[in-house]
Amino acid sequence: MTDGPGALLAGARRREKQRPGPLAPPRAPGGRRPLAVLAAVFTLAQLALVRPVLGFGWDEVVYISQVTSHHPAAFFSAPRSRGVSLLVAPIASWSSSTVLLRVHLAALSGLGLYLALRAWRGLFPTRVLVTAGAFFASLWVTLFYGPQAMPNYWVALGALITVGCFLRHRGDPTAGGPLWGVVAGAALMAWMRPTDAVWVAVPLLVLALLARHGRLLLALTGGLVAGAAEWVIEAYAGFGGLGERLAEASRVQGGLGVQIAVDDQLRSLGGRALCRPCTGAMPHPVITLWWFVLPLLAVLALVVAVRAGRTPRTAVPLACATTAALPYLFMIGYAAPRFLQPAYALLAVPVADALWYLVTAPRGRWRPAARALVALGLAGHLTVQLTVLVHTVDRNLDSRRDWARMAAELHRLGVRPPCLITGHEAIPLGYYAGCSSGATAGNNENTTVAEILRTADRVPVATLTGPGGTPPGYARGWPVHRIGDLQARIAPAPG
């Protein structure tokens, strides 16, 4: 028989099996393709706008030099972690090509963005995820640092993966894939910056404890421990213990405590890679406007989620974004825009949901007005971000070319590898010149005056003094040469 009560019951069961769960809205066909296209556009935008010829910055030099065979390793201070060095090792270990490494990192960052957004599938429609990815990827700080050897972008991707997979497993405890995603995302964060990973994970740890999600708690803590293991081992091997390394990291960062850095972060939005000390005028209000709109959209997203009965998938990323931003807004005395990348990434999904609510919820004559307002705001936002990006790239291109020119001048003066450079900007100039770098004081202290003088008996040594600076006593009798705005005192030739 093909009809009757049995057939009706079987049909109802089939329909029940096909019905999506409460955390899984119907998936649009080809949901992966829009995310893949977005990731590809992001990769190409980095190569076109940031340009692969951009030389390496100060922090990049430290990370890259740890794994190269053609440059001495720069001093590795307490706050740093080895994740970035291992990320660049497949290229930097055998090639000194800046272009090749930039392309490698741009491709990895595009792939990483795709995987991070995929971690949220089933929690929000594809259109929301594409919008979230486009918002985060279009920030000048994301485009600028995507192809660079820096940790914060990767902490942001790890945060997206961790929170997305956490929510998916919480909604469907039988799914094993999201549980491994939590492990991978937490390990990636801790691999790059262990302290940042802990701040991001605090709301997840609290939620897992309160709700007694034992498997989630184990996955999250396991990922954090696995990612931070090398950093902790190095703490005991090179700093005297974990507490000593944390204390030294705090000292290097100016002493962590109750400090207001909100205004510093605002100043950095104009394109300042590092705002330390953070003085000067605020950027034009047009440049900082998006920063004030962002929390308003986040609140709207939370209100919409509460009304729709899907609070956790919006509240959890908002809570993690808050804890991720907290130390960089209220516990540190300086700013860099890249510090807040994990918070921006986590905010992107709820903000995208709020934007789609604004263009679809209003009825009647209000809908065209809302859509026009959102379109105008997004166009203005994109214009501001690209303008700041171009200005930032141009300025950094010039400064890094200056380092290359100064290194060439040092070579002309006889300072060639093997060699040692100390003093003003010794770390980047040492890398560009192929020399070791040394400091007898400050955050990068790694040598003594006696060791510098002993080195000068074997290889060329140069001490650099910046504008208005005072040369160290051991180098005052050395011949002086002017290189741009710097004074280079070069030790007499060995022997």
Residue-wise pLDDT for 70-112, tens only, equals 899 999 999 999 999 999 999 999 999 999 999 999 999 999 9
- How far apart (Å, rounded) are the C-alpha atoms in residues 116 and 163? 10
- 83 domain-assigned: no
Q: Which of 201, 197, 44, 40 minimizes the C-alpha distance to 133?
A: 40
| Backbone angles phi and psi of 489, in degrees to 5 | -105, 120
Asked if residue 404 and residue 327 are part of one domain, the reply reads: no
The pLDDT value recorded for residue 20 is 41
User: Can you read off the two tokens belonging to residue 218?
Assistant: 């184990």
> Are residue 471 and residue 404 in the same domain, yes or no?
yes
Gap between the Cα atoms of 337 and 388, Å rounded:
12
* Range 47-52 average pLDDT: 96
Closest CA to 321 of 303, 288, 297: 297
Residue 342 lies in a domain: yes
What gap in Å lies between CA 53 and CA 46, rounded to an integer?
12
Structure-token pair, residue 56? 């390496």
Final residue of a domain: which of 340, 361, 382? Answer: 361
Question: Does any domain span residue 327?
Answer: yes
DSSP-derived secondary structure letter, 420: E
Looking at residue 166, what is its pLDDT? 98
pLDDT for res 279: 85
- CB neighbour list of residue 391: distance below 8 Å, 6 or more residues apart: 271
Is the confidence at residue 9, as pLDDT, over 60?
Answer: no
269 within 8 A of 348, measured Cβ to Cβ: no
Q: Does the pLDDT of residue 415 top 60, yes or no?
A: yes
- Whether the predicted pLDDT of 2 surpasses 80: no
Task: Give a yes or no: residue 46 inside a domain.
Answer: no
The answer to pTM > 0.75 is: yes
Provide the residue count of the chain.
495
Number of domain units in the chain:
2
Cα–Cα distance, 213 to 473 (Å, whole number): 62
Whether the pLDDT of residue 8 is over 50: the answer is no
Residue 331 sits in the same domain as residue 412: no
In this structure, the answer to whether residues 281 and 342 fall within a common structural domain is yes
The CA distance from 177 to 44, in Å, is 30
Q: Per the domain annotation, does 132 fall within a domain? A: no
Whether residues 421 and 348 share a domain: the answer is: no
Q: How far, CA to CA in Å, does 481 sit from each of 33, 80, 402, 421, 432?
A: 58, 34, 16, 14, 18
Are residues 271 and 323 both part of a single domain?
A: yes
| Tokens 């028989």, located at residue | 1
Question: Could you tell me if residue 120 is inside a domain?
Answer: no
Res. 495: pLDDT tops 80: no
Same domain as 347, residue 413: no
Q: What residue numbers bound the domain in which 476 lies?
A: 400-490
Over residues 33-42, the pLDDT tens digits come to 999 999 999 9
Mean pLDDT, range 167-184, rounded to an integer: 93
Q: Which of the listed residues 305, 333, 361 is the one where a domain comes to its end?
A: 361
Nearest to 439 by CA among 188, 76, 80: 76
| pLDDT attached to residue 30 | 52
**pLDDT at residue number 1:** 37
Is pLDDT larger for residue 346 or for residue 256?
Answer: 346
In a domain, 375, yes or no: no
Q: What is the dihedral of CA 177, 180, 184, 187, to 10 degrees?
A: 160
Note the pLDDT of residue 213. 93
Domain check: are 350 and 410 in the same one?
no
Residue 424 and residue 348 share a domain: no
Average pLDDT score over the chain = 92
Q: What does each C-alpha distance from 107 to 41, 68, 104, 368 come to in angstroms?
A: 11, 21, 5, 38
- Check pLDDT > 50 for residue 15: no
Question: Is the confidence at residue 183, as pLDDT, over 60?
Answer: yes
Q: By percentage, how much of the chain surpasses pLDDT 90?
A: 86
Q: Lowest mean pLDDT of 8-17, 60-69, 360-369, 413-422, name the range.
A: 8-17
Last residue of a domain, one of 361, 389, 411: 361
The set of residues, in sequence order, having a beta carbon less than 8 Å from that of 469 and lying 6+ positions away, is 423, 424, 487
Shared domain check, 263 and 349: yes
Tell me the per-residue pLDDT of 190-213, one tens digit each, with 9 for 90 and over.
999 999 999 999 999 999 999 999
Number of C-alpha atoms within 13 angstroms, CB side, residue 351?
23
Mean pLDDT score, 452-456: 96
Flag whether pLDDT at 370 surpasses 70: yes
The reply to whether 164 falls in a domain is no
Query: What average pLDDT does this structure show over 277-295?
Result: 93
Angle between helices 152-171 and 177-192 (to 10 degrees): 160
Does residue 339 sit in the same domain as residue 430? no
On the question of a cis peptide bond just before residue 418, with omega within 30 degrees of 0, the verdict is yes
Q: Per-residue pLDDT tens for 118-160?
A: 999 999 999 999 999 999 999 999 999 999 999 999 999 999 9
Confidence tier at 17 by pLDDT (50, 70, 90): very low
Q: Is 17 exposed, middle or buried (0-12, 13-18, 19+ CB in 10 A)?
A: exposed
Residue 182 backbone phi and psi in degrees, to 5: -60, -45
